[in-house]
Structure 1
């Protein structure tokens, strides 16, 4: 069935996903993201106060922890396939709760490193297991909507947590101890909420698994590598924007600091309010072209920032806000289509392993983003935005050159392809 053959009469009119467990799934995702958002703005200050080590040491520890967990992700993927995503999510949430107990009760670099490795592992496994759980819980033709819901509650939770933390957290050791306890409680509550869900459909236990020789072969699947590579390029560019844009806006463009807040209010508000309706609209199109167009729309912001120095000062804020709105619409399209593709291309019985392998790409991008942003901002800041533009175009070309059957037609569910 092609997109043109899907009549509007055949599509359900509701925007929210349907199915048992949708409320528990949304609540668990929101609470998990709330704890992350509550902690995220104060990451460096929290670790400096709690561990007693220097800021530069904290930076090195976080980088080492982010890279150290990458080799273990394939094991996490196999656990998702073996035991189911819900069980893995419960364990990952409890692991992160224990890490925050450790952060507030111990001092020194070694405990800081060990707990951060465990925390980073829990985060990466959680990001692989959530899409797998969404696909397992979704009814026929509902996968894209459940995946979109996971992004909505994530953005809402992150924004709410960061806003409330900004109002409540006190810059003192006791204040950051409260922050750590709040996070431990939020992750423990997340585990309890996930326990209310059914395990969802588990292809690894209901389908013939005798063909074990083909398991965990994501690294040999060229199609999946191209999809994951394009996603990782776009994901890395968004992380660079988060890091570099505030510095460039204030220092290079000479705009007021409130402009930075306004830009991210536009971004977060649109993501929270429009992700579901936009995702509902995008369901009628093939995810490959949607991902490519969304990635190219990132370039609107990058090019705007690059040329804004030649624009009259009074027009810069308005131009930035408009470009950020376009960028945010592209971000919705990228997150929606990207999740649909990485969950549709793998064989169902190996979905957890494939998604965990995808986190290797994401993890490398997350580790490289701050270095790339800092080095270009220090040397040739204008080049940074043209580099990001080139990355967006590259990702779009990778996706557009995929075979037409690389992802399901609009309305189809995840594939179960066997490749040699």
Structure 2
């Protein structure tokens, strides 16, 4: 079997398992708060702590996850993560007391945190610079498709009056993580990985490169991490808290309308992902991210308009749906851009640590975003919108700064080609022309 066939098969299995786990996750994500607060009768504050514990657990385990991936390889780490996530999901379903549900939330959050950078590293191992953007775009597409279908089917099954219906949902989610683990365990990773071998794995007895100090010394990676924090704070960190609170309290839309807006977000991602990919994969990554910042600034202005025209319900609803749709367009542009860039910035034996460092930044933003956005959206309406418009413009500024710190191959990989040099390899006329890698920017 050729290397290309092996990597293609491995990548398809990884993507399939990832889609199935997203499908299972979609069954529970929209209903977790209701399950803990109402069905188990533990109250809204306990449900809030459960959601927070996911982030806390991730922040604890991620600093160790990258080193484990680079030492042991991503496959066993991913399998361990799926077992934790499966056990945590089942534990949440069966827990009736506060202590047990908190413990299960920690286990579940730790599992999710381990899975994400491990799968990302596996995708890096099974792709090349030319195919990586499409691989990560496919992962993002399948994640959203799985979450959307899972959420739709879960909504048909769940009934707050029947606790057993929630047990079924969590049981399905737990089973999907087991299936992800089995699928990942059967993946045959390519020998030597990509780009010259040994990527992401420290050879036995080889000197260990510096961990955190090496990442902090990488100015491009530090800039990307700051950019990532602002990006996740201004978008994902607001979806389930600030933006939802603003929509209900200020724009005065119903929860059903909010659900339609979320559906619009998912629909844009699913329908536009590959059309957007064809446009952005041959553009400079830094400029694509800069455009996303501008799009999201417009999205937050649209959210502000929905609050100003709250008395005109139809216009408020249209503006809010436009907000979520614009966020979806930006997300579709980021998926083939940011994750591949993290991989291309990483030294060969530190891919796991770079992926884990970026995942840690993401978790920090997802933890701080709701804590800041929720209260502001409910009380400081205008400052809330102004803050997030400025954050979005900050994404644009940071992206342009990042572009100055990237090489041509990192910023624009598909436009860097190998051309034949007319200069002989040896003395004049003494041999074949040598081939030299020269970055060439096409129009």
Same fold (TM over 0.5): yes
Structure with the larger helix share: 1
CA contact (8 A) 2:200 2:350 kept: yes
Work out the number of aligned pairs and report it. 396
Deviates more, 1:120-129 or 1:146-155: 120-129
Deviates more, 1:205-214 or 1:31-40: 205-214
**Aligned with residue 116 of structure 1, among 84, 102, 105:** 105
Structure-to-structure mapping, 1:104-183, within 5 angstroms: 104-139=93-128, 141-171=130-160, 172-183=162-173
How far the C-alpha of 1:408 sits from its partner, in A, is 3.9
Matching residue within 178, 184, 193 for 2:174 = 184
> Is contact 2:27–2:154 with CA below 8 Å preserved after alignment?
yes
Structure 1 unaligned spans of 5+: 1-17, 414-420
Q: Does the Cα contact within 8 Å between 1:145 and 1:280 map onto a contact in 2?
A: no
Partners of 2:322 and 2:48 in 1: CA distance: 34
Q: Deviations over 1:310-355 (max 9, x none)?
A: 4582433334444443332222112322112222211121011111
Structure 1 residues 209 and 160: CA distance shift in structure 2, 3 A: farther
Q: Which has the higher contact order (CA 8 A, sep 6+)?
A: 1
Does structure 1 retain, via aligned residues, the 8 Å contact 2:240–2:370? no
Deviation at residue 146 of structure 1 after TM alignment: 0.5
Q: TM-score, normalised by structure 1?
A: 0.87
How far apart, CA to CA, are the structure 1 residues paired with 2:308 and 2:34? 37
Partner residue, 1:224: 221
Residue 300 of structure 2: which of 299, 302, 318 is its match? 302
1:97-153, Cα deviation, whole Å (9 max, x unpaired): 111232233432222222211211111121212221111111451011101111011
Counterpart contact for 1:303–1:385, Cα < 8 Å:
yes
| Structure 2 spans left out of the alignment, 5+ residues | 1-6, 417-443
| RMSD (CA atoms) | 2.5
Check the 8 A contact 2:141/2:270 in 1, yes or no: yes
Write the distance in 1 (CA, Å) between the matches of 2:295 and 2:137.
19
Work out which of the residue numbers 82, 86, 89 in structure 1 matches 2:75.
Answer: 86
Residue 245 of structure 1 is matched in structure 2 by 243
1:411 aligns to what SS in structure 2? helix
Counterpart position of 2:412: 409
Q: 1:254-293 to 2 correspondence within 5 Å?
A: 254-293=252-291
Q: Residues 300 and 327 of structure 1 are in contact (CA less than 8 Å); yes or no, is this contact kept in structure 2? A: no
Q: Is the 8 A contact 1:344 1:408 kept in 2?
A: no
Which has more radius of gyration?
2
Q: In structure 2, how many angstroms separate the alpha carbons of the residues matched to 1:152 and 1:335? A: 9
Residue in 2 that maps onto 1:417? none
Cα distance, 1:89–1:291 mapped onto 2, change above 3 Å: same
Query: Where does 1:13-32 land on structure 2 (aligned, <5 Å)?
Result: 19-32=8-21
1:346-380 residue CA offsets vs partner (Å, 9 max, x unmatched): 11210111111112211111111222122112221
The equivalent of 1:354 in structure 2 is: 354
Q: TM-score with structure 2 length normalisation? A: 0.82
In structure 2, do the counterparts of structure 1 residues 139 and 230 end up closer, same or farther at CA, with 3 Å as the change threshold? closer
2:206 is matched with 210
